[in-house]
Amino acid sequence: MDLDKLRTTACLDLNGKRVLVRADLNVPVKDGEVSDATRLERVLPGLQDLAQRGAKGIVISHFGRPKGAPEAEFSLRPVADKLAELLRRPVAFASDCIGSVAEKAVAALRPGGIAVLENLRFHAGEEKNDPAFAAALAKLGDIFVGDAFSTAHRAHASTDAITRLLPSYAGPLLIEEIAALRSVLDKPERPVAAVVGGAKVSTKIPVLTNLLAKVDKLIIGGGMANTFLLAQGVNVGRSLAEPDFTKTALDIMHAAKARSCEIVLPADAVVAAKLEAGAAARVCPVLETPPDQMILDVGPKAIAHYIDVLSRCRTLLWNGPLGAFEIAPFGEGTFRLGRAAAAATAAGKLTSVAGGGDTVAALNAAGVADQFTYVSTAGGAFLEWLEGRELPGIAALVRAAR
Interface residues with Mg ion (CB under 5 A) are: 379-380
Phi/psi zone of residue 278: left (φ > 0), alpha (ψ -120 to 50 degrees), beta?
left
Q: Which is nearer to ligand 3PG, 252 or 386 (CB)?
A: 386
* Alpha-carbon span 204 to 296, nearest angstrom: 19
Least distance CB 379 / Mg ion (angstroms): 5
Residue 392 engages ligand 3PG in binding (rule: CB under 6 A): no
> Which residue from 75, 150, 359, 376 is in contact with ligand 3PG, where contact means CB under 6 A?
150
How far is C-alpha 3 from the chain's CA centre?
Answer: 19
Query: Whose CB is nearest to ligand 3PG?
Result: 26
* Alpha-carbon span 145 to 285, nearest angstrom: 52
> How many residues of this chain bind ligand 3PG (CB under 6 A)?
8
Residue 158 engages ligand 3PG in binding (rule: CB under 6 A): no
> Which residue from 151, 159, 315, 334 is in contact with ligand 3PG, where contact means CB under 6 A?
151
How far is C-alpha 324 from the chain's CA centre?
Answer: 19
Residue 42 engages ligand 3PG in binding (rule: CB under 6 A): no
Q: Which is nearer to ligand 3PG, 26 or 334 (CB)?
A: 26
- Is there a contact between 181 and 376 (Cβ–Cβ < 8 Å)? yes
Q: Which is nearer to Mg ion, 285 or 380 (CB)?
A: 380
358 binds, among Mg ion, ligand 3PG, none (CB under 5 to 8 A by kind): none
Nearest to 209 by CA among 347, 388, 1, 5: 388
What strands lie across the sheet with 315-319, from one edge to the other?
262-264, 217-220, 192-196, 315-319, 351-354, 374-375
From 43-51, 146-154, 319-327, 339-347, give the range in contact with ligand 3PG by CB under 6 A: 146-154
- What is the contact mask toward ligand 3PG in residues 47 to 66, using x (rule: CB under 6 A)? ------------------x-
Query: Whose CB is nearest to Mg ion?
Result: 380
Q: Which is nearer to Mg ion, 158 or 352 (CB)?
A: 158
Q: DSSP states of 108-141 as a string?
A: TPPTT-EEEE--GGGSHHHHTT-HHHHHHHHTT-
Type of residue numbered 178:
I
Residue 358 engages ligand 3PG in binding (rule: CB under 6 A): no
Q: Which residues are catalytic?
A: 39, 200, 357, 380
Residue 154 engages ligand 3PG in binding (rule: CB under 6 A): yes
154 binds, among ligand 3PG, Mg ion, none (CB under 5 to 8 A by kind): ligand 3PG
- What is the contact mask toward ligand 3PG in residues 6 to 25, using x (rule: CB under 6 A)? ------------------x-
How far is C-alpha 64 from the chain's CA centre?
Answer: 16
Residue 379 engages ligand 3PG in binding (rule: CB under 6 A): yes
- Is there a contact between 184 and 386 (Cβ–Cβ < 8 Å)? no
Measured from the Cβ of residue 165, the count of other Cβ atoms closer than 10 Å reads 17
Burial classification of residue 240, based on how many CB atoms lie within 10 Å of its CB (0-12 exposed, 13-18 middle, 19 or more buried):
middle
Can you name the residues that pair with 218 across neighbouring β-strands?
194, 263
Burial classification of residue 122, based on how many CB atoms lie within 10 Å of its CB (0-12 exposed, 13-18 middle, 19 or more buried):
buried
65 binds, among ligand 3PG, Mg ion, none (CB under 5 to 8 A by kind): ligand 3PG
Q: Which is nearer to ligand 3PG, 23 or 114 (CB)?
A: 23
From 136-144, 150-158, 182-190, 305-313, give the range in contact with ligand 3PG by CB under 6 A: 150-158
24 binds, among ligand 3PG, Mg ion, none (CB under 5 to 8 A by kind): ligand 3PG
Q: What angle is formed at CA 59 by the lines to CA 54 and CA 61, rounded to 5 degrees?
A: 165
Query: Which residues lie near ligand 3PG (CB under 6 A)?
Result: 24, 26, 65, 150-151, 154, 379-380
